Chain A
Amino acid sequence: MSTSIGVWIAAFLTLGIMSFLYKDNPIYKFCEAVFVGVSAGYWFVVEFFNVFLPKVYDNVGIAVNVLLVQGRVDWFHWSYLLGGILGVLMLLRLVPKIGWISRWPLAVVVGTTAGLWLINYLVSNAMRQIQSTIIPLYVAGDLNATIGSIILVVGTFCGLIYFFFSKEHKGAFGGAAKIGIWFIMITFGASFGYTVMSRMSLLIARMDFLVGTWLGLIR
């Protein structure tokens, strides 16, 4: 059995969270509250040291330094001050009267997201996937590969037809959409089956901690 106080605390918290599986209880509530408090605090500290200090404080520091020492305006580093100002505008939400100003930084963030996602998804999800789907259906002398290619092309084609919204799924079109949903179901089933393993590994490692590290029952 472990003699480290840390291991004992960890074991208590592990069992506390697991007790939720039986039913909600005060020990779980306690662990949950600790979890919310500690993790909120963790990210608060991390954001301060990993984002605020290096991105705002350091960059503006460089900009000021360049200005004072070289008498030159370093636009690149000053631009981070603008980011800092946006951040402060966000905090104006705390002042109810002018809280609406916080919509400006929000608008900048949403505009950035819309612009970047439009391009990135069109390139990596649409263009490149279509590129990989345009393949010869027939591979000379390789029956396996031929069947594979046909399934790949037919599955992608019919799957996309399922996502047509402005046309009724009837007749041949509806048939293709039906095949499409089958492919989508196979995809979900396969990904689910593939995942089970992943989830089991997490539990194995946890039980290994309880039985091995904490209780010392296995070598």
Chain B
Amino acid sequence: MKFFDRLLAIDRRIIFLFVIIAVTLPLFSKATLHIEVSPMVKAVYDAVDNLPPGSKVLVSFDYDPASAPELQPMALSFFRHCFSKDLKVVIIGLWPQGPVQANIALEDVFRDPEIKAKNLKYGVDYVNLGYMAGNEVVIQSMGSNIHTTFPADYTGNRTSELPLMKGIKNFDNIDFIYNLSAGYPGTMEWVQFAVDRFQAKLGAGNTAVQAPGMYPYIPEQLVGVLGGMKGGAEYEIIAKRPARAVSYMLSQGVSHAVIIFFIIIGNLAFFVTRGKKKTS
């Protein structure tokens, strides 16, 4: 039984080795896995899908490149969905790096021939108002006037001169808010300020860590939440546009299997050694 004792106190670097193999090897495979669409993701998808063409959607990019693996795929499929439904998109960021991530996402989406064919114009079909310091206070002051909160857009154009922004004064003129968040400020602040104070309609994409914390707000304060890369993959599936998140799912699956395998082994060893201690 010495084997199990040793197993219980296994050097964690051996676990690390298994993890890295489990993540890397599947990257070479082309196989895809079945993905179930959860009701939370469907709720967000439906909320966007049911907006009439021309509706105005506000997207807040509240994350940095560190969380991009989880949130960038969501940004891509959301943009694609909005543009294919002819919705107007207003981008802001409460994290300094957020609007940069938005631009990277837009560049990717415009490579899609279907979206390219729509010949979308900056200022008319979408705008990027950039980053504003002040966290939740920015949301609060957007509630009274977006033009004074963001006097100029990302490149320095005056907000009031952008055709799309002419019809948008505050949250009353926004039909749906989508928040991509990796922490503070993020979805919690959008709930507290945009929803609780100004009755806006909010959907969110969160890192898988943040997402469970948002469950208590659903459905009264929050339509639904996409959790992590899996949430992004589900959105790609329901929108019938499988992309990057779907392709990473095999690595996800295998690495999970490895962790679960270790948990089972750990418990097995634990019970065997405990049983032995009891008998002796």
Binding site for B on A (CB under 8 A): 21-22, 46, 50-51, 54-55, 120, 123-124, 128-129, 132, 190-191, 194-198, 200-208, 211-212, 217-218
Contact = CB atoms under 8 A, between A and B. Distances in A.
- Chain A CB count within 10 A is highest, among B67, B133, B191, B259, for B133
B264 to A, nearest CB: 14
Contacts of A22: 13
Given A128-B221, A207-B23, A198 B216 contact: no
A132 B220 CA distance: 9
Contacts of B211: 194
B16 interface: yes
A200 B18 CA distance: 13
A14 B213 CA distance: 31
Nearest to A127: B196
Contacts of B221: 128
Contact of A204 (B23, B207, B209, B259): B23
A207 B24 contact: yes
A124 B96 contact: no
B68 A194 contact: no
Contacts of B255: 200, 203-204
A197 B256 contact: yes
Interface stretch (B77-85, B118-126, B225-233): B225-233
**Chain B interface size, under 10 / 10 to 19 / 20 to 34 / 35 or more:** 35 or more
Contacts, number: 94
29 contacts: A46-B96, A51-B133, A55-B133, A124-B192, A124-B196, A132-B220, A191-B209, A194-B208, A194-B212, A195-B208, A196-B259, A197-B252, A198-B70, A198-B207, A200-B23, A201-B69, A202-B67, A202-B70, A203-B23, A204-B27, A204-B69, A204-B229, A204-B248, A207-B24, A207-B27, A211-B24, A211-B28, A217-B28, A218-B27
Contacts of B216: 129, 132
B19 interface: yes
Interface in B18-44: 19-20, 23-24, 27-28
B12 to A, nearest CB: 9
Contacts of A198: 70, 207-209, 227-229
B133 A128 contact: no
A197 B230 contact: yes
A91 to B, nearest CB: 20
B60 interface: no
Contact of B68 (A124, A205, A207, A211): A205
A55 B255 CA distance: 47
B131 interface: yes
Contacts of B192: 120, 123-124
Interface string B51-65: 000000000000000
B19 A203 contact: yes
B159 interface: no
A212 B16 contact: no
B133 A54 contact: yes
A51 B251 CA distance: 41
Contact of B27 (A21, A55, A128, A211): A211
A54 B132 CA distance: 10
Given A124-B192, A128-B196, A194-B227, A204 B133 contact: no
Contacts of A123: 192, 196
B256 A200 contact: yes
Given A195-B208, A201-B248, A205-B68, A50 B131 contact: yes
A124 B191 contact: yes
Contacts of A128: 196, 221
Nearest to A187: B212
Contacts of A208: 27, 248
Contacts of A211: 24, 27-28
A165 B258 CA distance: 41
Interface in B224-258: 227-230, 248, 251-252, 255-256
Contacts of B208: 194-195, 197-198, 201
A171 B13 CA distance: 46
A21 B13 contact: yes
Contacts of A197: 208, 228-230, 252, 256
A201 B27 contact: no
B115 to A, nearest CB: 24
